[in-house]
């Protein structure tokens, strides 16, 4: 419980995106100590509470109720209460109504504490194997094909991995649109992360569009598109040569290593060959 009338604050608590074991000790303490927890779907949060024996009162705070509830939540915080905020999964404020409450607290100069933890964005980005030197998070893809295409056109030249949430029902059509707008890109679909049926499907956008065409997809999905290839910082000659050397040291033949690196980095084999060769000329001298 809050200990004094001026100690009120909003505590933003990241919760698991599937596996209930992925919750931090600080989040569990904060949820136990809060005067109230605001949750998108209280039934979803109840499962977390039951697993960890938490009995803090739960109140609904979702897309429908957020606007009407914010003034009262601000009053409660200003009056000294500690209000915890969770979403159905992951970090509140990322594509859910949490960001509005945080903004309202900031506007009202009320304290906000964020307890970090899982987010589908970062989990999918790292699992994809795509470059992480820069990424663009676009939230949910627009539903209207025209808007979606305009968005892709505006992002086409960005030297960053693109990360989008998408509904499983629209996944196939989104992948087809990505393939026609950004042909040849490396990409990934990350589905049901941290859950029993978790999968990360990687390939070119065309391969993924084929793989998901006509497939009934269930669960939660993140779509990722790698940056334009070529002379970007993500595929420097040094990087390519180093990647080949690592595979060779792990026991792969040099020609297979060149093939694998070319495929996984989405660059022509001849470029990887030249990079690895130049490196060898400068160094070890083994032939390909
Ligand atoms: N705030 C959350 C976060 O930080 O991860 C995201 C909330 S957003 C309303 C829900 C979307 O996140 C889903 O439609 C899906 O795109 C993605 N997502 C959530 N959990 C996921 C999971 N286990 N695997 C893949 N995607 C997931």
Output 54 or 238, whichever has higher pLDDT. Answer: 54
* Ligand 1 centre distance from Cα of residue 121 (Å): 7
How far, in Å, is the centroid of ligand 1 from the Cα of 194? Answer: 11
User: CA dist 136 to 34, 159, 177, 188, 279, Å?
Assistant: 34, 9, 18, 15, 32
Q: Which atom of ligand 1 is nearest to the CA of 165?
A: 16
Phi, psi dihedral angles at 124 (to 5 degrees): -70, -40
Q: What pLDDT was estimated at residue 236?
A: 79
For 7-21, the pLDDT digits (tens) are 699 999 999 999 999
224 lines ligand 1 (CB under 6 A): no
User: Tokens in use for 199?
Assistant: 């999968």
Nearest CA to ligand 1 atom 13: 220
Q: What is the pLDDT of residues 100-144, one digit of tens each?
A: 999 999 999 999 999 999 999 999 999 999 999 999 999 999 999
Q: How far apart are CA 70 and CA 68, in angstroms?
A: 6
The residue with tokens 């595979």 is 247
Kindly state the DSSP code that residue 15 receives in the 8-state scheme: B
Residue nearest to atom 20 of ligand 1 (CA): 17
User: What is the Å distance from ligand 1's center to 138 Cα?
Assistant: 13
Quote the CA–CA distance of 136 and 241 in Å, as a whole number: 27
Ligand 1 site, residue 194, Cβ cutoff 6 A: yes
Residue 245 Cβ contacting ligand 1 at under 6 Å: no
Half-sphere exposure of residue 5: CA atoms within 13 angstroms, side-chain side:
2
Work out the average pLDDT over 241-246.
Answer: 90
Report the nearest atom of ligand 1 relative to the CA of 91. Answer: 4
Per-residue pLDDT tens over the stretch 64-83: 999 999 999 999 999 999 99
Q: What's the gap in Å between 128 CA and the centre of ligand 1? A: 15
Structure tokens at 4: 């004094």
Q: What is the pLDDT of residue 283?
A: 60
Tens of pLDDT, residues 252-277: 999 999 988 887 776 778 888 999 98
Q: What is the Cα 122 distance to its own chain's centre?
A: 4
Does residue 222 have its Cβ closer than 6 Å to ligand 1? yes
Using a 6 Å cutoff on CB, does residue 95 contact ligand 1?
A: yes
Does ligand 1 have an atom closer than 6 angstroms to the CB of 221? yes
Please identify, by atom number, the ligand 1 atom nearest to the C-alpha of residue 124. Answer: 25
What's the pLDDT at 265? Answer: 73
Asked whether residue 43 carries a pLDDT value surpassing 90, the answer given is yes
Average pLDDT, the chain: 92
pLDDT of residue 125: 98
Ligand 1 site, residue 190, Cβ cutoff 6 A: yes
> How far does the centroid of ligand 1 lie from the alpha carbon of residue 276, in Å?
39
**Ligand 1 contacts CB of residue 127 (under 6 A):** no
User: For position 239, what pLDDT does the model report?
Assistant: 85
54 against 286, higher pLDDT: 54
Ligand 1 center–CA 238 separation, angstroms: 35
Q: Is 15 in the pocket of ligand 1 (CB under 6 A)?
A: no
Whether the model pTM is above 0.85:
no
**What local confidence, expressed as pLDDT, does residue 233 receive?**
41
Ligand 1 lined by 82 (C-beta under 6 Å): no
What is the C-alpha to C-alpha distance for residues 82 and 166, in angstroms, rounded to an integer? 34
């Amino acid at each position: 419980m809050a200990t004094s009338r001026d100690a009120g604050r909003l505590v933003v608590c990241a919760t698991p995106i599937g596996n209930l074991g992925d919750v931090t000790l600080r989040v569990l303490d904060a949820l136990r100590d809060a005067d109230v927890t605001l949750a998108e779907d209280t039934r979803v949060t109840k499962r977390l509470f039951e697993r960890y024996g938490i009995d803090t009162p739960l109140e609904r705070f979702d897309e429908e109720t957020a606007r009407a509830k914010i003034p009262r939540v601000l009053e409660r915080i200003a009056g000294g209460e500690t209000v915890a905020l969770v979403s159905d999964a992951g970090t509140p404020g990322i594509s859910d109504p949490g960001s509005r409450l945080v903004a309202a607290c900031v506007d009202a100069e009320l304290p906000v504490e964020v307890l970090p933890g899982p987010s589908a964005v970062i989990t999918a980005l790292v699992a994809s194997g795509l470059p992480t030197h820069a990424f663009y998070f676009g939230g949910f893809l627009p539903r209207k094909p025209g808007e979606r295409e305009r968005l892709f056109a505006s992002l086409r030249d960005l030297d960053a991995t693109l990360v989008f949430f998408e509904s499983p029902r629209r996944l196939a059509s989104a992948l087809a649109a990505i393939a026609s707008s950004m042909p040849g890109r490396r990409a990934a679909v990350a589905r049901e992360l941290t859950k029993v049926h978790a999968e990360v499907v990687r390939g070119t956008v065309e391969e993924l569009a084929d793989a998901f065409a006509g497939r009934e997809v269930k669960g939660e999905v993140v779509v990722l598109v790698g940056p334009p290839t070529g002379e970007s910082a993500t595929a420097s000659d040094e990087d390519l040569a180093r990647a080949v050397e690592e595979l060779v040291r792990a026991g792969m033949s040099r020609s297979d290593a060149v093939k694998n690196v070319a495929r996984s980095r989405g660059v022509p084999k001849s470029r990887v060959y030249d990079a690895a060769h130049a490196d060898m000329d400068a160094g070890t001298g083994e032939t390909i």
